[in-house]
Amino acid sequence: MFAPGATNAPSHNCHIKDARLSQSTATLAPIQISETPVMMERSIVALQWLAALDARLFLGLNRLHQRMQLETLIRFISFTGDGYLYLLMGLSLPMLFPDQGTTFLLAGLLAFVIELPIYWVLKRSFKRRRPFHVVQAMTPVLKPSDEFSFPSGHTTAAFMIAGITSICFPGVSLLAYTWAALIGLSRVMLKVHFISDVLAGMLLGSLIAYLSLSIITVY
């Protein structure tokens, strides 16, 4: 019926497969380990390239600013993002447009409640030095409100307000976002932020605006 020792064949085959699997695993492991330093090196190179690009864009914008002599205009644009305009909008819009204005006020208040702790955590976590600390012979046009650069608080707040305004008053969406973008640009030209600080503020402000409006409209 069955030849002697036939029952041992499956076990013998399993041992062969296990040995082959062990050999293949042993050959793969060093490759995975050896790839880790290469990936880290590439990541560092990419970050260095981005930092260099950030610095070149910053210097290019400031050279343009110096040639065109736009300091007074840029100071005024930045001033509109200091907070006084937001207060004026929050007080006047609910009276002029009860429905949309009230939504704007509530969403704006909630947005700042959400934004302030996130902003300070990011500032204290990254502790990125401002451009005039990094670039030699660079003097800021105005004194910043705090020591660190990332993210841009003015840009974050401007894009929060622009996002909320564009939902509550769609007719002025383009104007609102153009103004917010100019706020970010002014912060670079005033030598207090890098481009990446502004881009981070744009993203953070837009996300918080969407979140606060979502909460207000639900409740």
Do 188 and 100 belong to one domain?
Answer: yes
Look up the pTM and report it. Answer: 0.73
Percent of the chain with pLDDT over 70: 65
- Which residue's entry shows tokens 């509550």? 168
Do 58 and 107 belong to one domain?
Answer: no
Of 67, 85, 116, the last residue of a domain is 67
Is it the case that residue 183 has pLDDT exceeding 60? yes
Helix (H, G, I), strand (E, B) or coil at 140: coil
Cis peptide before 151 (omega within 30 of 0): yes
pLDDT of residue 55: 67
Do 23 and 100 belong to one domain?
Answer: no
Q: Which residues contact 98 (CB under 8 A, 6 or more apart)?
A: none
Helix (H, G, I), strand (E, B) or coil at 129: strand
Average pLDDT over residues 168-197: 93
Helix (H, G, I), strand (E, B) or coil at 130: coil
Do 85 and 171 belong to one domain?
Answer: yes
Do 154 and 175 belong to one domain?
Answer: yes
Of 31, 47, 67, the last residue of a domain is 67
What's the pLDDT tens digit per position in 191-204?
Answer: 888 889 999 999 99
Number of domain units in the chain = 2
Q: Which residues contact 128 (CB under 8 A, 6 or more apart)?
A: 148, 149, 150, 194, 197
- Domain with 121, as residue range(s), is 70-218
Closest CA to 208 of 147, 128, 153, 145: 153
What's the pLDDT tens digit per position in 148-160?
Answer: 889 999 999 999 9
Of 10, 32, 67, the last residue of a domain is 67
Do 16 and 3 belong to one domain?
Answer: yes
Average pLDDT over residues 174-196: 92
- At 213, the pLDDT band (50, 70, 90 cuts) reads very high
pLDDT of residue 145: 75
Of residues 25 and 197, more confidently modeled: 197
What's the pLDDT tens digit per position in 43-67?
Answer: 665 656 666 666 666 666 666 666 6
Do 52 and 21 belong to one domain?
Answer: yes
Written as six digits, the tokens of 67 are: 């040639």
Greatest mean pLDDT among 33-37, 49-53, 188-192 lies in 188-192
Do 74 and 133 belong to one domain?
Answer: yes
Do 191 and 94 belong to one domain?
Answer: yes
What's the pLDDT tens digit per position in 108-155?
Answer: 999 999 999 999 999 999 888 888 777 666 676 777 777 888 999 999
Cα torsion angle, 44, 47, 52, 55, sign: negative
Partners of 148 in the β-ladder: 129
